[in-house]
């Protein structure tokens, strides 16, 4: 091991990891918005909406993210005739992909809430939307935080896949360094170490948020 080399490249890798984090945060943010909409469509009881949401989830969970990135960055621009920007393609791909997983997380969260909650809200004259917004979703969201944390971590790792469209995040930067200095072990262990630091930090943060939210009441209990 060339420790001096590792010390040399770590700052550059850390810098690249900022883009990795940005990609992931942008991706999960889009994913939460899309996932919320898709999960509500799925449980709306309106057949068309539900079918569309299911098709979306099935497609993006049933095909590799790598292929989805290629479609968004290479295939769609050919069909619709525009010039893609790698980083935008990357964020969109991560966002739409995680949206499918988040949709299932929220759906499970919503369905875990006692049916009596919706009935009580509706019996007071609230609309379905009001009941969702004020009663069901706040409780479902809380139940969803641990799986959302897992999804965040999974997405951070998956963001390495955007290296195939040359977004200069952590993975790509590792490859670029490889091209100049063929110190395989030093480079890839360093890259792995930084991913590990990022994912562990997120895990700790999620844990903290989870515990904070438990103060006052314990979630979906209804008796």
Contact residues for other proteins (CB under 8 A)?
114, 116-117, 119-127, 130, 134-135, 138-139, 142, 216-223
Closest to other proteins by CB, 85 vs 120, is 120
Closest to other proteins by CB, 36 vs 143, is 143
Q: Do the Cβ atoms of 23 and 94 come closer than 8 Å? A: yes
Provide, for the chain, the percentages of residues in helix, strand and coil under a 3-state DSSP scheme, each rounded to the nearest 5: 85, 0, 15
The residue count for the chain: 223
52, two tokens: 């569309």
Residue in 140, 111, 135, 107 with CA at minimum distance from that of residue 40: 107
Minimum distance from residue 48 beta carbon to other proteins (Å): 20
Minimum distance from residue 133 beta carbon to other proteins (Å): 9
Closest to other proteins by CB, 62 vs 216, is 216
Minimum distance from residue 21 beta carbon to other proteins (Å): 31
Distance in angstroms between the alpha carbons of the first and the last residue of the chain: 60
d(CA 182, CA 179): 7
Closest to other proteins by CB, 16 vs 131, is 131
Minimum distance from residue 120 beta carbon to other proteins (Å): 4
Closest to other proteins by CB, 83 vs 218, is 218
d(CA 27, CA 68): 14
Residue in 201, 117, 114 with CA at minimum distance from that of residue 152: 201
Q: Do the Cβ atoms of 69 and 26 come closer than 8 Å? A: no
Minimum distance from residue 121 beta carbon to other proteins (Å): 8
Minimum distance from residue 146 beta carbon to other proteins (Å): 17
Closest to other proteins by CB, 50 vs 117, is 117
């Amino acid at each position: 091991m060339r420790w001096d080399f590792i010390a040399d490249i770590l700052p550059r890798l850390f810098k690249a990891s900022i883009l990795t984090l940005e990609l992931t945060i942008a991706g999960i943010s889009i994913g939460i918005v899309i996932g919320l909409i898709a999960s509500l469509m799925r449980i709306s009881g309106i057949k068309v909406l539900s079918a569309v949401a299911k098709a979306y989830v099935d497609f993006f969970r049933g095909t590799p993210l790598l292929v989805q990135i290629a479609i968004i960055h290479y295939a769609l621009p050919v069909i619709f005739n525009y010039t893609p920007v790698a980083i935008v393609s990357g964020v969109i791909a991560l966002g739409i992909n995680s949206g499918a997983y988040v949709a299932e997380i929220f759906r499970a969260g919503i369905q875990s809430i006692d049916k009596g909650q919706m009935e009580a809200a509706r019996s007071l004259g609230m609309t379905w939307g009001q009941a969702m917004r004020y009663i069901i979703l706040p409780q479902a969201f809380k139940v969803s935080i641990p799986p959302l944390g897992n999804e965040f971590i999974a997405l951070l790792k998956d963001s390495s896949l955007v290296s195939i469209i040359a977004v200069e995040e952590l993975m790509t930067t590792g490859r670029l360094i490889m091209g100049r200095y063929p110190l395989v072990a030093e480079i890839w262990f360093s890259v792995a170490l930084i991913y590990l630091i990022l994912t562990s930090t997120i895990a700790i943060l999620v844990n903290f948020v989870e515990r904070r939210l438990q103060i006052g009441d314990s979630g979906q209990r209804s008796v």
